Amino acid sequence: MTTGMTTERANFGSKLGIILATAGSAVGLGNVWRFPYMTGHNGGAAFILIYLGCILLLGIPGMVSEFIVGRHSHANAARAYASVTTSKRWGAIGLLGILTSTIILGFYAVVAGWCLYYLWAAVTGDFGGQAESAQLYFQQFTGDALRPALLAIGFILITHIIIVRGVRDGIERASKLLMPLLFILLLVIVGASCSLPGASGGVEFLLKPDFSKVTADVFLEALGQAFFSLSLGTACLCTYASYFNHHTPLLRSASQIAVVDFIIALLAGLMIFPAAFSVGVEPDSGPSLIFITLPTVFRQAFSFMPLLGWAVSVMFYALLVFAALTSTISMHEIGTAFFHEELKIKRSQAAWILTVVCSVIAMLCALSVARPAIQVLGKPLMDFCDLLTAQVMLPTGALLTSILIGWYAPRKLVHDEFSNYSSSTPTLLFRTYLFSVRYVVPLCIVLILLHQFGVL
Ligand code: TRP
């Protein structure tokens, strides 16, 4: 344990606060925006089953491992990883995580900026109700880089302000109120979407698996999506766990967060696909999917009471912006904690470093959506950042963490953290966890990565 650090560092105030803030990091655009378009792209229900498998088999053990690293050290990501064994070199995993989350924050802020714009459009009742006009509306907005770039930077600045106010005041208080609200609103919109004519096709697409669509790529995308959605593989969970106290049950918290995260993603699917099928939008239409289908739900499903439709749409985008915010906060916090503690500068100064770097990435990403000619390795920069992080950097971070905890960390440390220093934790549970971080997680990730690079 780093002496002195624990007293200076913030702690989460309550048990519920910890779970909500960590769940707030997990629940975000990954669930509502990325999960539906990945599901649409990979053929529906079969993808969801594989995704669920990835969460149970790799996600939960991976989360517990990051929690162990973070809570053991009560320090920023790089120092936390360096303090697990006597070899400081493992700190590189933390550095990789900081780099990954900085890139993610860059492109994530662009989508969060789109949501901000749609919040405004919902307030003014501006977006089209028909699928074609909604599509045109989205293309016109993202086709001009200036507004999306400014909105993305604005979003990063909002994140910055909250980060500077500190952990308990900023992150925890807001999560407590707004997370449950998002959940309830999702249920309302799912109901509305499923009531549209022809919606049953979408429900079937989500719930009836067609295994002929499953290729090796589907596994890779499911793995990337699972890690992205759980905020796994960038030391984000490790950073949050460094604020946990010694009573936080790690396995139970990881499982609860994974369940909440999965349910929210599934609800987002149930909200979007019935509507997409009802109005004839292709389920595989990519990142624009939710921005095209949702305006239709609001306009058509609530046509009997437009005022209600208006209120629901405004509330929905407001909560989506909030969900994105609790996620961007967690990405920002990783680097901020690192620079603050390692360079020994003020938190606000550390936060500025992140804010400036991420703003530059966000600007370039927004530009690459408007001018797809701005490419890296044949893909627009925005897509490239998304794929590089979700399908290479996150799995690599999780793989290395798993190897560290499974093979190199002192067994006593792992056991103490896993069991909260109590001897009442069933041995079988610990053995199963250990087996999975030693063998299952590394093997599965390596196989999937080897396939990605064309070796298998
Ligand atoms: N999990 C978040 C979402 O689903 C995104 C996110 C937040 C994230 N922090 C992260 C992804 C760290 C990877 C790493 O929207």
For residue 426, how far is its CA from the centre of ligand 1 (angstroms)? 31
pLDDT digits (tens, 9 = 90+) for 228-268: 999 999 989 998 898 888 888 999 999 999 999 999 999 99
Using a 6 Å cutoff on CB, does residue 31 contact ligand 1?
Answer: yes
Using CA atoms, how far apart are residues 64 and 81, in angstroms rounded to an integer? 14
- Burial class from Cβ neighbours inside 10 Å (0-12, 13-18, 19+) for residue 317 reads buried
Cα gap 431→424, rounded to integer Å:
14
- Ligand 1 lined by 29 (C-beta under 6 Å): yes
CA-proximal residue: ligand 1, atom 14 (nearest): 231
Q: Is 73 in the pocket of ligand 1 (CB under 6 A)?
A: no
pLDDT tens digits, one per residue of 157-208? 999 988 887 655 666 677 777 788 888 989 988 988 888 888 899 999 998 8
Average pLDDT estimate for 364-377: 86
CB 229, CB 26: distance < 8 Å: yes
Q: How much is the pLDDT for 10?
A: 55
Q: What is the pLDDT of residue 389?
A: 94
24 C-alpha to ligand 1 centroid (Å): 9
**Angle between helices 306-342 and 347-370 in degrees, nearest 10:** 130
How remote is the CA of residue 25 from the centroid of ligand 1, in Å?
Answer: 6
CB 25 near ligand 1, within 6 Å: yes
Q: What is the DSSP letter of 89?
A: G
Distance CA 164, CA 360 (A): 20
Nearest-CA residue for atom 11 of ligand 1:
231
Q: What is the pLDDT of residues 388-403, one digit of tens each?
A: 999 899 999 999 999 9
CA of 300 to the centre of ligand 1 (A): 32
Amino acid at 403: I
SS (H, E, C) 2-47: CCCHHHHCCCCCCHHHHHHHHHHHHCCHHHHHHHHHHHHHCCCHHH
In single-letter form, the type of residue at position 6 comes to T
Distance 145 CA to ligand 1 centre (A): 24
DSSP summary character for residue 293: H
pLDDT at 166: 65
